[in-house]
Structure formats: structure tokens, C-alpha cells
Structure 1
């Protein structure tokens, strides 16, 4: 039997739940990356058409704004799972490993709480926007469709944050 080594930043892969969360977070980040590529191509097309033919794509800014929101929220679970968030450890450099582990656990729990709140409010906001029939100003695109990915992404971020808190609490986190 060949065992896969666990490298720094990948302690989460040592367990089946960690592997599942890693796969889901990577798929979501890939989808976000594809959205980012699409809005980049859209912007390049609009700029080219504006520069050479004086015929920009009307509403391109609306699409870029919607796409950026989707892309950013899609990257958050993988960032949390890979411990890519910025931490300021100036006050804990000389602290014991147990103190740092406790603070990391608390940080992950706070992230989970914020993500849970954002998931809940995203559902309410999306349903409210749908029921009001709100549309973008120039293109008339229903706004709810661009808000739909937010709740699942924040829900995954909540689960990932709870998982990383559990790893930190048990001393299996990457920064312990």
C-alpha cells in the first residue's frame, strides 16, 4: 500500500472528510476561475470593440461586477482550507504552541460564524431580489442569478472553517 505524504498546507487531506472538502473547494475555485477568465475575455472584447470600432459592449461593467463577486466568493473555501488567509502573528511569536493553536481554533470558529451569517443573509437577499424582480440597469439582467452562488459558497466556507477549527483544536492544523 502506498501512502500519500501530507505536505505543509495540506493536513486536511489526511482524512476522508478533508479529501471531500478539498475536492469541493477545488471544484468551486475552478468554477470561480472560469468565471474570472470569462469576464476577462469579455472586458478585452469590449475594450477592443470600443478602441477600434467605437462599438463597446453596453453593460460590460455590470457583467464584470457580477462575475467578480461570484469569483471572489468561489475562492474563499479553498483559501481557508489551504490556510491562505493573512494572519498577523506579531503578538504570538513568543507564545506557546498551545496558545497559538487555541487562537487559530478561535479564528476558524469566528470565520465559520461569519460565513454562516453570510450564507443565511445571501439566501434571504437572493430570494428578496428574485421576488422584487430587480434587474441590472443597462442590460436588464435579473440580479438574483448572480447572487445564487453566494449561499452555497458561504455554506462550504462554514463547513471548511469548522473542519479547520477541529484540526487546530486537536493539534493537527498546519500552523500549530
Structure 2
């Protein structure tokens, strides 16, 4: 899942770079600073990507959900342990188990609500403003990634509750 999220994020970055470059190229061509080449580039459709922000929204949302499983599995979430650093190993283990259970519950809740939103977007046929692609596609991709994240979170919660090491690297 992390590899898929990385690919999605790289594609989003590439789309943004192409769009920004195309926007600058179009500005230069419209100003006449590129001459014949600029007019030719505009004729063939060189310029910003239509609906680039819609692609960024969908791709980034998927990437976030795709990174959740590896983040949970390795225990790489941001932690603030100023107060708990002095606790015993047993107390810290219990705190970790508690937060693993909370994280599993939160991700399951998010997955449930993503499914409800996916069903609504599919039922009503909502599309993006410029590209007109069905919004449920992005919700579906995020929902599938959230199912994997939920499964991994429940696994980590069980391991932490049983006293095992949560950080699996």
C-alpha cells in the first residue's frame, strides 16, 4: 500500500509540475515572447492541465490512506511522550496498547464513514467540476486503502494488547 501511495504521490507531483510549467509557457506564449514556437505550442494544446487541483485532491487523499497501514505497523505516528517517558516499561506498554485500540477504532470509524460517502457519491452520480470524473472513484480508492489500514490497525491493537512488540520493521 505504501508503494501505491508513493506512486500516487509522485504522479500528483508530476501533474503539478507539468501544470505549473504549462501555465508559465502559456503566459509566455500569450505575451508573444515565444513567437512562432509559442503559437504552435498553444495550437497543439500545451499549457496547464485542466482540473489539476481535482487530480491533486484525489491523489493526495488516496496517498494518505495508503500510507496509514505502514505507519501504524511500524509505530511511526507522531508521539509526544514528555510525561510518559519516565513511566515503567509496563506502564508504557499499557499506554501504547490503549492508543493502538483507539487508533483502530478511529480508522474503522473513518472507513465506515468513507463507505457511506462512497455510496452517496455513487448513488447521486456526483462528478468533479472540470474533469467530470465520478467522485466515487476517489472515495472508492480511499475506502479500499482504509480497509487495509483498519485491518493492520486491529492487528496492531491485538498485538499491543497481548503485550507483543508493535513495531514490526
Segments of 5+ residues of structure 1 without an aligned counterpart are: 1-27
1:61-81 CA deviation, whole Å, 9 max, x = no partner? Answer: 111111110111110011000
Q: Which residue of 1 aligns with 2:102?
A: 110
* Equivalences for residues 90-109 of structure 1 within 5 A: 90-109=82-101
Indicate whether 1:71 and 2:63 are aligned. yes
Q: Which residue of 2 aligns with 1:47?
A: 20
Runs of 4+ in 1 over 4 A off after TM superposition: none
Give the TM-score, by structure 2 length. 0.82
Distance 2:127 2:109 in 1: 25
Give the TM-score, by structure 1 length. 0.79
Segments of 5+ residues of structure 2 without an aligned counterpart are: 28-46
User: Which is worse superposed, 48-57 or 95-104?
Assistant: 48-57
Distance 2:154 2:17 in 1: 40
Distance 2:63 2:153 in 1: 19
Find the residue that maps to 1:149 and give its secondary structure.
Answer: helix
Distance 1:124 1:34 in 2: 27
Indicate whether 1:30 and 2:3 are aligned. yes
Distance 1:134 1:149 in 2: 16
1:95-146 CA deviation, whole Å, 9 max, x = no partner? Answer: 1111111110010000110111111111111111011111111111111101
Cα RMSD (Å): 1.4
Distance 2:63 2:85 in 1: 34
